[in-house]
Structure 1
Amino acid sequence: MKKTFLFHHHTRDELSQLAYDGYAVVVPLAATEQHGPHLTVYTDSLVCEHISYHAVEQASAYAKLLLAPMLPIGCSDHHTAFGGTLSFSSATYALMLKEIGKSAIASGFRKIIFLNGHGGNELAMHQAAQDLAVEHPVWTASASYWSIARDALAAVKASETGKVPGHAGGFETSLVLSLDADLVNRERIESDHPTLPWVAAGPAGTFLGRHHLLTGFDGYTDSAALADRDKGKLYLDTIVQSVSEWLARVCETMDGGV
């Protein structure tokens, strides 16, 4: 059987051996939710799937990593009013992530990494990772791709197309254009869109929000008029490289022991 970094391509015996050998399990987290009038509801999952696959593929050359199947439904209750959204409540989602971690631990794994591609998952993800490390003799790590790649994206001027990461704005639309342009309804992209400067604008670790406006006016943060396919590819390549390097560093730390 061909060796692979995909968790779900292995048998139970192979996974038991990989756990014994000290492999870390990367669990990608995404969503199925409304993305304005021009993007598919699978946007976060499409992007997260690409990033997690290629980042783990690259990092697995230097670190013992397995990529678990992506979770395509997340914590998206703040989108349900617009329709087209599948969601778990925050309490259910946090419990679900903990139980995924516990099942990996029961299989012998002692290193669990959550890699996130949807903002609504972030707090529950971090809490689940912390709880697992408190309750079990394991290493855990958790991060969203835009946090890992923040400096690298700034260096390639990603914000020139829209808010980073924003929601269904120029940045995300650029990513989707580069992955599958047929999934972007260009006719529904408006040249202007009311922006709410307070949305996701506070310092790290802070929150400010209002009912039905958590992801911007009409459910998205900014106009996608400046979205560009080539720039989207640059952004994705930048993110993949940053996430790959982060995974390698995390594994190095986990392998360090203390």
Structure 2
Amino acid sequence: MHNFIPPSRFFPYLTWTEIEAMPDKENVVIIQPAGAIEQHGPHLPIIVDSAIGMGVLGKALEKLDASIPAYAMPSLYYGKSNEHWHFPGTITLSTETLSAMLMEVGDSLYRSGFRKLVFMNSHGGQPQVMQMVARDLHIKYSDLMVFPLFTWRVPHITKELLTPKEAQLGMHAGDAETSIILALLPDQVKMERAIAEYPPEQPEGSLLTPEGKLPFAWATRDLSKSGVIGDATTATREKGLQILESVSDGWVMAIKDIYAFRQPQSDREC
């Protein structure tokens, strides 16, 4: 049931009495992974985002100092994936459903006495949902510290392992994701089907991009016929092992920061 997570760090393996008696509960770090079940081209399984989140988190919790109390919740495997729903196999929740699930997880953990909650999101289609729910939970419970984090935003070396074009334009099912799945679930990767496909270029001089500071709305089929946005053909397991080590090291740093974090308190009265 714990998948890649060390059993001693898997929240559902605790009893209610262990949770009730947990010391310094306000600083225990609870991590809710959130992924997706969505197409990742003809060569990768649809569990990619969820597998990456659990794989990275499991490796990070293995490395984390035993004196830091941190626990992984079961992954939320389904996410807001409607940008991919033209491809068979994609399962998507609405924004409203995903938000309600996250809010109610937060409510439940708050009732149990926890005050530090991490949303560890591994799907690029839903960071805004995580951010809005995190803010709403903190407004609802002023002493609840919520961290809406994206798995790939911690310090890591991944871009150093990619070509300049892939580092700039690779977005989905390309080199990085294929490599890390080769490290985590090698038997589920069909490299003979791997392809390279990049999105159509915008007119020269345009400031608009699918992602970035000035984005436009898009569905995956607008950018790719195969569902791949990047170059999967250059992926290797060796590269994936390096990525896994580096990203999980970044998560060890992040969890340590969260454990030591104290919510800022201004002197203003309002």
Confirm whether residue 84 of structure 1 aligns to residue 92 of structure 2.
no
Equivalents in 2 of 1:10, 1:72: separation in Å? Answer: 21
Note if 1:202 corresponds to 2:212: yes
| Larger helix fraction of residues | 1
Which of 102, 121, 142 is equivalent to 2:148?
A: 142
- Is structure 2 residue 256 aligned with structure 1 residue 248? yes
CA contact (8 A) 1:116 1:145 kept: yes
Of 218, 227, 235, which residue of structure 2 is paired with 1:227? Answer: 235
Structure ID, larger Rg: 2
Query: Which AA in structure 2 matches 1:14?
Result: E
Q: Which residue of 2 aligns with 1:236?
A: 244
Distance in 2 separating the partners of 1:224 and 1:239: 19
Q: 73, 80, 105: which one pairs with 1:68?
A: 73
Contact 1:163 1:222 (C-alpha < 8 Å) held by counterparts: no
CA distance in 2 between partners of 1:213 and 1:163 (Å): 21
State the shift of 1:3 in Å.
Answer: 8.5
The percentage of aligned residue pairs carrying the same residue is: 27
Q: Offset of 1:85 from its aligned partner?
A: 1.0
Q: Residue in 2 aligned with 1:100? A: 105
User: Which ranges of structure 2 fall in alignment gaps of 5 or more residues?
Assistant: 1-5, 202-207, 266-270
Q: Secondary structure at the match of 1:71?
A: coil
Which residue of structure 1 lines up, in the alignment, with residue 205 of structure 2? none
Which residue identity is paired with 1:229? Answer: R
Distance between the aligned counterparts of 2:164 and 2:21, measured in 1? Answer: 47
Name the aligned partner's letter for residue 244 of structure 1: V
CA shift, 1:160, in A, is 5.7
- Secondary structure of the structure 2 residue equivalent to 1:81: coil
Alignment of 1:158-177 (within 5 A): 158-159=162-163, 162-163=166-167, 166-177=171-182
1:53 aligned to 51, 58, 62, which one? 58
| Aligned residue number for residue 5 of structure 1 | 9
**Mapped contact 1:195–1:217 kept (Cα < 8 A):** no
For structure 1, the residue ranges without an aligned partner over 5 or more in a row are none
> What residue number does 1:218 align with?
226
Q: CA RMSD in A?
A: 2.5
Q: Secondary structure at the match of 2:9?
A: coil
Give the SS at the match of 2:146: strand
Partner of 1:33: 38
Equivalent-residue separation in structure 1 for 2:53 and 2:95 (angstroms): 20
